[in-house]
Structure 1
Amino acid sequence: MRLHRLLLVFLAFAVSLRAQQPPQNNSSVLDANGTAHVTRVIPVPTTISPEAQDTLRRPAGAENQTLAERRTSTDAWQTHAGEVSLKAYPVKIESLTIAGVPVRNILPLDETPRHPDHVLINVHGGGFNADSGSFTESIPIANLTHTRVVAVLYRLAPEHPFPAAVDDTIAVYRDLLKTYKPSHIALYGTSAGAILTAEVAVRLTQLNLPLPGALGIFSGMGDLSQTTDSQAMYALRGLTGSLPVAGTQPRNTDYTGTTDPKDPVLSPLHADLHGMPPTLFITSTRDQLLSGTTILHRAFLRSGDNAQLIVFEALPHAFWNDISLPETKEAYTYMADFFSQQLNH
């Protein structure tokens, strides 16, 4: 009897151990609704830099944080990442208020400004509820373009849902129009900032204000009314980290509030996009917003706009916030060259 119990315990342990082992084979089963239940064994590719390969081997960071915890950790990371960026891309940083909106004023160190009549406006990422880019998205670009960058510290959700961030950005833009020609202004952002960039452009057309000379939509989307293919496949860190099954979670309305998710400003895919400025789209193949970025890029093309798309290999969402990657340096160069070319026409 005792031997029998020991055998049962051993079998239970073996089953448990087997369950903990990662799958070793690929599989795909379609259910009656066409939903794919997929297992894929995906090695770290050799098509990216050794540094990028190392990042793909890291597990996801802290999850299930409260908003307060997320903001605290994001602020600490962004401050440190900004210091690292500053060493590689020296600039001068000031804190200002423009049209009542706090901003970071990022200035190149040229003794004689190379482009004193140009300005770039950055709207940072961070899910609309934190600041995960006002340093890392602006410091390298100011350095590489030798151009002033104004990073808008727009009001955050859920305390300030849509259209607060749009209104703040437009207030700064209106004020800068007093000094700069619209053709000498570029607007760009990553993630939430990429979404906001498109939203602001649509709102400017509604207000009959002149559009900027260029846009940068770096890992964004243009439709907050539906979930895309890449959002169903990838977490923020790509193939690592928890990811709820698409369609099983209630829609997050912290940013959208009570606005119709198909509102043409909130979701520019539903707007008339004819006449948008030249726009650079950047994403990567393990980006949660890969689909959203490419769908919006195609919408620009269908509207006859000058729209370029760059897709990096294997890297996760907004990878260019990691300054240690060679691919980040490459991405910054594409961004800076695009803005310099468009504003110097």
Structure 2
Amino acid sequence: MNDTINISRLNFEKLGELYKHADNVLIENETIEDINCYWFKNKGDHSTGKLLLYLHGGCFVLGSLQSHQALVSHLSKNLMLPVLFVEYRLAPENPFPAAVIDITKVYQHLLSRYPGCDIVLMGDSAGAGLAISVLSKINEMDIHAPKYLIMLSPWIDLACTNQSLITNAAIDPILTKEQLEKFVSFYVNDKTVSAANPIETMYGPAPQLLIIVGSNEILLDDSKLICNKIAEQQTKVELNIYEGQNHVWMLEDINTEASKKALKEIQEFIAA
């Protein structure tokens, strides 16, 4: 099993080589609460009173700076924001709730270090699910919540029962239901799926939410599910479904019209 996971991790890291890192964006390593993190900062950047905390995807098992640095560098450049990328602990070596604990510690550190700063919490795929789990923990702790939440192709229902897992199976070239179920088993380990499931354990209010997802995704209904759940709170929610797009397509090509449009929508969302 370990050899298979290691090969999958190496292959996943190659996503970061599919296009160039954004010009004039510096990456600085920092250890925060014993957790490896990376700052993405624009050269000559001036504080806007906002920062973005980014949680990478990879089914809770894959992903690192290498897999996501190109995408995150372009986010930092286009949004003109400092971005903190968290290399949280991965399953199966560190199953639930290790990643949630790591990210929550980093978030608490940011609150103390930058009081009054508006934090944008953002994640793709499983990282978006972790964002919901962390938000629930923040609400339980009754500490200051992020102002914005942005999700790219979110995976927030680990029970894997949504209809699009079946109806979109033939048109999703990235994921399969069987793959997701295998990764869930790595992540939950000896816990129940319900205990680790972001949508089932969601607690308290949510910030303004932007969801960006492709119509081809088997996880399409996850986006609709979290949209409806948060809309019940009468919170501002935007769900944008991109026709013909695949899971986290911006990881594969940042220069397509769909990627450029998504970047613009993110920029406009946090500027409002």
TM-score w.r.t. length of structure 2? 0.88
Paired position in structure 2 for 1:190:
124
Percentage of pairs with the same residue? 24
Give the structure with the larger helix fraction: 2
Inter-CA distance 303–269: structure 2 relative to 1 (3 Å threshold)? farther
How much is the aligned-residue C-alpha RMSD, in angstroms? Answer: 2.5
Shift in Å at residue 298 of structure 1? 0.5
Instruction: Give the alignment of 1:91-102 within 5 angstroms.
Output: 91-102=25-36
Instruction: Give the alignment of 1:116-131 within 5 angstroms.
Output: 117-131=49-63
Contact map agreement 1:232 1:246 (CA 8 A) in 2: no
Number of aligned pairs? 267
Matched, 1:72 2:10: yes
- Taking the aligned partners of 1:212 and 1:180, their CA distance within structure 2 comes to 12
Instruction: Give the alignment of 1:182-331 within 5 angstroms.
Output: 184-234=118-168, 238-240=171-173, 243=176, 252-263=184-195, 266-271=196-201, 273-321=203-251, 322-331=253-262
Instruction: Give the alignment of 1:49-198 within 5 angstroms.
Output: 66-78=4-16, 80-81=17-18, 84-87=20-23, 90-109=24-43, 111-115=44-48, 117-131=49-63, 133-181=67-115, 184-198=118-132
- Taking the aligned partners of 2:166 and 2:130, their CA distance within structure 1 comes to 22
Contact map agreement 2:28 2:40 (CA 8 A) in 1: yes
- Taking the aligned partners of 1:121 and 1:320, their CA distance within structure 2 comes to 18
Contact map agreement 1:122 1:137 (CA 8 A) in 2: no
Deviation per residue, 1:70-114 (Å, 9 max, x gap): 111222332x14x61324xx31111111111101110012x2514
- Taking the aligned partners of 2:174 and 2:103, their CA distance within structure 1 comes to 32
Runs of 4+ in structure 1 displaced over 3 angstroms?
237-247, 249-252, 271-274
Contact map agreement 1:275 1:304 (CA 8 A) in 2: no
- Taking the aligned partners of 1:143 and 1:135, their CA distance within structure 2 comes to 12
- Alignment-mate amino acid for residue 189 of structure 2: G
- Alignment-mate amino acid for residue 253 of structure 1: S
Shift in Å at residue 198 of structure 1? 0.9
Deviates further, 137-146 or 100-109: 137-146
Deviation per residue, 1:198-231 (Å, 9 max, x gap): 1110111112222111111211133212421222
Deviation per residue, 1:283-340 (Å, 9 max, x gap): 1110121111111111001122221111100111111112232211111121222223
Contact map agreement 2:184 2:193 (CA 8 A) in 1: no
Paired position in structure 2 for 1:42:
none
Contact map agreement 1:145 1:340 (CA 8 A) in 2: no
TM-score w.r.t. length of structure 1? 0.71
- Taking the aligned partners of 1:200 and 1:155, their CA distance within structure 2 comes to 14
- Taking the aligned partners of 1:106 and 1:214, their CA distance within structure 2 comes to 19
Inter-CA distance 183–245: structure 2 relative to 1 (3 Å threshold)? same
- Taking the aligned partners of 2:209 and 2:47, their CA distance within structure 1 comes to 23
- Taking the aligned partners of 1:170 and 1:121, their CA distance within structure 2 comes to 11
Higher alpha-carbon Rg = 1
Inter-CA distance 182–192: structure 2 relative to 1 (3 Å threshold)? farther
- Alignment-mate amino acid for residue 119 of structure 2: I
Shift in Å at residue 118 of structure 1? 1.9
Inter-CA distance 268–182: structure 2 relative to 1 (3 Å threshold)? farther
- Taking the aligned partners of 2:206 and 2:215, their CA distance within structure 1 comes to 26
Shift in Å at residue 176 of structure 1? 0.7
Inter-CA distance 258–108: structure 2 relative to 1 (3 Å threshold)? same
Paired position in structure 2 for 1:39:
none
| 2:69 partner SS | coil
Inter-CA distance 75–233: structure 2 relative to 1 (3 Å threshold)? same
**Aligned mate of 2:266, from 330, 335, 342:** 335
Contact map agreement 2:95 2:188 (CA 8 A) in 1: yes
Inter-CA distance 167–250: structure 2 relative to 1 (3 Å threshold)? closer
Instruction: Give the alignment of 1:36-55 within 5 angstroms.
Output: none
- Taking the aligned partners of 1:192 and 1:250, their CA distance within structure 2 comes to 14
- Alignment-mate amino acid for residue 102 of structure 1: N
Unaligned runs of 5+ in 2: none
Inter-CA distance 252–208: structure 2 relative to 1 (3 Å threshold)? same
- Alignment-mate amino acid for residue 151 of structure 1: F
- Taking the aligned partners of 2:173 and 2:155, their CA distance within structure 1 comes to 21
| 1:177 partner SS | helix
